[in-house]
Structure 1
């Protein structure tokens, strides 16, 4: 039987695994360690964890292939923890289905906060009738978005974009991912096309579109809807 609050850590550095095990178990998580990609995949399949922490530099296969394999049968949140910090690596990991990306060396408090946020987001009920973020509320059954008590006048595409961001709140969505989700694979490279729509949405949801608080630009990567209390 899989333990509750289980996290699988896939990293070939024993010191990293030890640090994560000590700090996470202090917060009542059960940590399952794996030093190789193959062992990590087996652990995820056997223990059905709440979250996976994955390094990209593994001895038997790279973390990208591990992530790709896991995503064929599981939607478990995956946080990449890697020394690789290039924009290309980050975009590739996010496009393959990673939920978050943290570079080494890392701040333990920040990592724990990201873990809690990803687990909380994943536990949201998929058929939730509505979601609230700050002053914004999306009603999925009525297909409307409210700011305060006022319904926003949105085009169908603007609604679909906000729907996507609400369902992935606080998660970085790459340009490629958003374009494919909304317009299909033929528009995967049309990042300028997306920027126009984001600009229009910001004018409708933000108090000051030039200083957005909801939909933030992640330079060179994509966009993220910030979780506002």
Structure 2
């Protein structure tokens, strides 16, 4: 399920977006200020962020700048600021799109769909080929030079969670929750053990991984050129 973070200091906008997004089967969290938004992102990386610029503490530009220091999560700025300079600044700092208030819900949802398609959040049948390694995430099938490679169900869950966010940082807590469920966010030793096994099976040089890369103390990325 695609996870959308709505960041806006207007409770009515947060409520309207949350209701309408959930009705379309999105998972939603809302934040009324920049600090709360960044805390949510550090706990679990969203698939898309809807970001207002006029926030009461850290403004939207500050939130965007901090986000881009560690994540490529798609960000759609949703703001009443309509001056070209505001749009240019937001886009130059890494926003993926800019929607001016008041906005059409259907147009906004269409833009969200574009972002999730680009990021891989709506790619359940993801297949990848890296050199002589082929990964079919939908069928849980891996081969190297035509020879089958066996991964356990847990290993496939980890591979799928990372591959579907190709190139993007997946935080340890988010990965643990996706694979084992709520309540396991602190069991980082689980990830170390299973990632070591995945690397032995899928990496050409497990001691120097190029596919499943660790960001020490933060999380993991699937970084292969595909």
**In which range does the TM-score fall when normalised by the shorter chain?**
0.5 to 0.7
Instruction: Please list every run of 5 or more consecutive structure 2 residues that lacks an aligned counterpart in the other structure.
Output: 1-6, 22-30, 41-45, 52-59, 76-88, 97-113
Q: Do the aligned partners of 1:133 and 1:228 also contact (CA within 8 Å) in 2?
A: no
Alignment of 1:64-143 (within 5 A): 64-65=36-37, 77-78=48-49, 83=62, 99=73, 111=94, 120-122=118-120, 125-126=123-124, 128=125, 130-135=126-131, 136-143=133-140
Deviations, residues 137-182 of structure 1 (Å, cap 9, x unaligned): 3334532122342221212221221122222221211111111221
Say if 1:202 and 1:125 are closer, same or farther in 2 by CA, change over 3 A. Answer: closer
Say if 1:171 and 1:66 are closer, same or farther in 2 by CA, change over 3 A. Answer: closer
Deviations, residues 53-106 of structure 1 (Å, cap 9, x unaligned): xxxxx9x623635996xxxxxx76238876579xxx97xx98xxx9369xxxx9
Q: Do the aligned partners of 1:138 and 1:163 also contact (CA within 8 Å) in 2?
A: no
Corresponding position of 2:4: none
- The runs of 4+ residues in structure 1 deviating greater than 3 Å are 39-45, 63-68, 79-85, 108-113, 116-119, 122-126
Q: Do the aligned partners of 2:47 and 2:73 also contact (CA within 8 Å) in 1?
A: no
Q: Do the aligned partners of 1:37 and 1:66 also contact (CA within 8 Å) in 2?
A: no
Alignment of 1:120-199 (within 5 A): 120-122=118-120, 125-126=123-124, 128=125, 130-135=126-131, 136-199=133-196
SS at match of 2:193: helix
2 CA distance for matches of 1:123 and 1:191?
A: 24
Q: Do the aligned partners of 2:172 and 2:220 also contact (CA within 8 Å) in 1?
A: yes
Residues matched between the structures, number? 167
Deviations, residues 178-212 of structure 1 (Å, cap 9, x unaligned): 11221222322111221111111111111111111
Say if 1:123 and 1:200 are closer, same or farther in 2 by CA, change over 3 A. Answer: closer
TM-score (norm 1): 0.53
Say if 1:144 and 1:187 are closer, same or farther in 2 by CA, change over 3 A. Answer: same
Instruction: Please list every run of 5 or more consecutive structure 1 residues that lacks an aligned counterpart in the other structure.
Output: 1-9, 11-35, 49-57, 69-74
Corresponding position of 1:21: none
Q: Do the aligned partners of 2:48 and 2:115 also contact (CA within 8 Å) in 1?
A: no
